[in-house]
Amino acid sequence: MSRAPIVVVGSSNTDLVIRSARLPRPGQTVLGGEFQIVPGGKGANQAVAAARAGALVSFVADIGRDDFGDAALRRFRDEGMDTRYIVRSKSTPSWVALILVDRRGENSISVAHSSNDELTAAHVRAAEPSIRTAACLLVQLEIPMPAVFAAIKLARQHNVPVLLNPAPARPLTRSLLRQVNILTPNETELAELTRRPVRTREAVHHSARMLIASGVKNVLVTCGPRGVCWCSNAGERWFAAPKVKAVDTVGAGDCVSGALAAALAEGAPLERAIPFAVIAASISVMRPGAQPSMPRRREILNALGNTLV
């Protein structure tokens, strides 16, 4: 199989997590916690998912000139990604989230200004040679909007399909939505985008149709264990998720977007690409962590029971 080229424009971060019996009060120290360093960022998660699903990924991001950035760059290269468009900020550190979690799952999170915030439209335009020849562009909203706009504009100029994961959710203009081939919100993001509750299947259909009316060609709503709802001008279709024992659902939506982009870039129609992505996510939730849990292509195809295209 020749690997299909895609470009991912997005964020990269590192979570420093301490799990302990309780959260400290102001001025208090709590001892005996369990410490983890967890790689994350929606852009990086989706890039890893796509690479493991079989795509040749060029990643456009801004990471710091620090140990966290060095470690991230090694991980991306180990995954076989093209890292020539990754910018190393000289003045701003990599994105690090400090996360405290107690035994009930309550958490306290602090995130500092980071190199992610400095990814510019000019950085994205430098990747035009790869965007021009890509089979798909995948982008999210954890980076500055000018970078998002620049990536989508370049993709449209070169007739490259755009897959936008609208996370974290923020208002999107009709002019932007009209340039998106596939939008992949989860239920919470769908509700925020449309300002309507989506507690039922019918409500999901109605809100997804609102986005179709705004100009999006396809809306794929990820609904956790209920699967994925595909909405287009042709109507709605649900793709069920297999029943699995979930260990960690963090990154499952990123897995869907990354695997979907890889499948579409390979030439699979949406009705084949969606089950591929759903199966990939169902494998990922049975493992801890986001990036470490992303499945390899062979695992996905074995679970799917057939070839992709």
Please list, residue by residue across 49-67, b when 16 or more beta carbons sit within 10 angstroms of its beta carbon and e when fewer do: bbbbbbbbbbbbbbbbebe
Give the tokens for residue 62: 């801004």
Q: Are strands 5-9 and 86-89 parallel, antiparallel or unpaired?
A: unpaired
Assign 5 to helix, strand or coil: strand
Which is catalytic among the residues 15, 62, 82, 254? 254
DSSP 140: -
254 is catalytic: yes
| Burial bucket for residue 48 (CB in 10 Å: 0-12, 13-18, 19+) | buried
Picking from 5, 282, 6, 297, the residue whose alpha carbon sits closest to that of residue 139 is 6
Nearest 5°: phi and psi at 167? -135, 135
- CA-closest candidate to residue 237, choices 215, 265, 224, 218: 218
DSSP class of residue 82?
Answer: B
φ/ψ bin of 215: left (φ > 0), alpha (ψ from -120 to 50), beta (otherwise): left
Sheet containing 5-9: which strands, arranged edge to edge? 86-89, 56-64, 5-9, 136-139, 162-164, 182-183, 218-222, 228-232, 235-239
Instruction: Specify the residue for token string 């602090």.
Output: 110
- As annotated, the active-site residues are 254
